[in-house]
A and B are shown apart, each in its own frame.
Chain A
């Protein structure tokens, strides 16, 4: 998902306090920043919320790529609004992470020097306008699948950020699907572009949910702390079951020859993504890893004088105001 393979941190806390904490979680209490919490809970959350925030921010790049080349003024305004929302999502989440005792600049620096990750999906390129459709439809669609249950997560600030985000996310998916409908019902060339976008985005989208639960060593603790709400395979299945009919409606073919409805399980059988490719992308070898991190680093470095200048200006104004009093 936006937060993939979050390693949960070991906790060495007083067992009595830990047990009392678990009772609160099980009772559905929200944990707030000033409440006692296990060190592992705090650290795992910083990593997870941070990775989620970074994904929203880096996720602006593949779509930002098409803003100046949107086919109409209306599409341009819509895409701009969508990308601006993603900046907002990043900010809501950074704020939630900061309540756990990490600063915004620390989080940013950990992204920029590679200590923290962002979702693998944003290391794939957006080659044609149809990719704007496929990203909204599939990538935001997969994100929604994971974010809706996270509204009930145990950490109050995270849960509140997710509630805000979910309110805005459905616009993202629908504008993407709207682009796909237009392309799929357009000229032969447009239809080919739509199919090509689906072909390239399908498996990377399935990767967003992370590796199979059987291989996710860290899920259990996060599940009992209600930091992670569902298994990876469960969400991936749900995504496939929801998305295949949507592809059929578009008259497009999901690029999986083994995709088949399974009556007994009431869901589709499908081919999983290539996990070697997934791990390779996580290691930094995806098609766009270098470009994405370079863009973020450049923005941070180029903005340094603005951040410092505005801070100096604010201090000068404060001093002048004090002197006038």
Chain B
């Protein structure tokens, strides 16, 4: 408690060219150990080919109370989705 190892957030990139994805967190004294621990804790079954670790206190997060102002504006913009537009079948693939 007095001298607890800091918390790190772990991001793993899987095999198929996807982005790094947050998988969880862990404690480690420094970044080198955080990567080693991440490898042991989060890639025991070939889950990844690349590991990022970030000190948890460096992550800035949006606040749950901002959900409305942040995400509601996009709800009304249905024309951003291709299915908004009716294109006749005769036009072919589009």
Contacts and interface: CB of A to CB of B under 8 A. Distances in A.
B86 interface: no
A95 B25 contact: yes
Contacts of B30: 310, 313-314, 317-318
A243 to B, nearest CB: 27
A31 to B, nearest CB: 10
Contacts of B44: 81, 84-85, 88, 168
Given A34-B63, A317-B30, A91 B3 contact: no
Contacts of B7: 98
A284 B5 CA distance: 31
Most chain A CB atoms below 10 A, which of B41, B61, B63: B41
A172 to B, nearest CB: 13
A91 B41 contact: yes
A168 B40 CA distance: 14
B1 A105 contact: yes
Interface string A305-325: 001101101100110000000
Nearest to A99: B25
B66 to A, nearest CB: 11
B54 to A, nearest CB: 14
Contacts of B40: 84, 88
Given A308-B3, A311-B3, A95 B26 contact: yes
Interface residues on A, range: 20 to 34
A29 B33 CA distance: 36
B68 interface: no
Interface residues on B, range: 10 to 19
B1 A103 contact: yes
B90 to A, nearest CB: 42
A211 to B, nearest CB: 33
Contacts of B5: 307, 310-311
Contacts of B24: 92, 95, 160-161, 164
Contacts of A311: 3, 5, 29
Contact residues of A: prevailing secondary structure: helix
Contacts of A106: 1
B89 interface: no
B1 A35 contact: no
B75 interface: no
B33 A34 contact: no
Contact of A88 (B29, B41, B61): B41
Interface in A147-178: 160-161, 164, 168
A92 to B, nearest CB: 6
A175 to B, nearest CB: 14
Contacts of B61: 34
Interface in B35-67: 40-41, 44-45, 61, 63-64
B64 A91 contact: no
B4 interface: yes
A13 interface: no
B64 A35 contact: yes
B29 to A, nearest CB: 4
B26 A32 contact: no
A314 B4 contact: no
B51 to A, nearest CB: 15
B64 A105 contact: no
A160 B25 CA distance: 12
Given A88-B44, A91-B26, A105-B1, A310 B64 contact: no
20 contacts: A32-B64, A35-B64, A84-B40, A85-B44, A88-B44, A91-B26, A92-B41, A95-B25, A98-B25, A103-B4, A104-B27, A105-B4, A106-B1, A109-B1, A168-B44, A310-B30, A310-B33, A314-B29, A314-B30, A317-B30
Interface of B: 1, 3-5, 7, 24-27, 29-30, 33, 40-41, 44-45, 61, 63-64
